[in-house]
Structure 1
Amino acid sequence: MPVASLDAIRSRIGSEVGVSSWLTMDQERINEFADATEDRQFIHIDPEAAARTPFGGTIGHGFLTLSMLSRMAAEAMLVPGSIKMAVNYGLDRVRFIAPVRSGKRIRGRFRLDSVDEKAPGQLLLRHTVTVEIEGEEKPALTAEWLGLLFV
């Protein structure tokens, strides 16, 4: 995670703080997620059957795309140099807007909405995250994500 002073982080409230690199949602990743979650619906793992749907092929699970936020945040979210630990605090709003077809690339755009002291040494950061699909107009998802930093 990119490091900045707490003052510098607070000065970015209301603005985009980072964009992750592109990552590919290939069929292998989708299949592994299906196995891990036991969500083996045909639209995710059966290319022949999925080809006969409006999607035209397999698509990644919405929760797979959502779970990739952690990977994306490692490149895009700002954290203070004094950070000891960061934990996922939750989500206030998630919307799955467009399917991610197998083989497509996605990336996350992070806007910092707030920084609040939850307790001494604990900062609650709220980000609005938009996961873009390369070459497509609609994003895969938007989410309001909360992260708790221990500093």
Structure 2
Amino acid sequence: MKIETKFLGEVEINENDLITFEYGLPGFPDFQKYVLLSIDADLPLALLQSIDETDIGFVVAYPFAFKKDYMFDISDEDKEDLQIEKIEDVLTYSIVTLKESFQESTLNLLAPVIININKKLGKQIVLQDNIAFPLRFPIGALEGSAK
């Protein structure tokens, strides 16, 4: 099926790649179906695009590429919501706030987007126990696994 995206124009997607966010994303509870689209194979970035609304698309990043010591626990409630059976089924992304200069852009490390790739379920969680990770972490230079 073809969808119109916020940043990439019209793209062809496979319906099997749709990810359901049962609760939507914070601020967007009515939009529950998204797809992850690659922006550039050489960058740890993707587009999390609503399939229902062109203007709802978020640039997301693999946070470990920018903050190598980033780690947190997923609550039992979130594991249940996402039907997580093995940690290998989980992808973690952070929403990027883009600035004119990419080096000045920030990652939201306080509220990661968690996706169960096998069940095609996603949820943005707010970390309660770990205030060490900020809402606006400066991207700067790569320090993690993508360096």
TM-score range, shorter chain: under 0.3
TM-score by length of 2: 0.26
Looking at CA atoms only, which structure, 1 or 2, has the larger radius of gyration? 1
TM-score by length of 1: 0.25
User: Which structure is higher in RCO with an 8 Å CA cutoff and minimum separation 6?
Assistant: 1
Considering fraction of residues, name the structure with more helix. Answer: 1
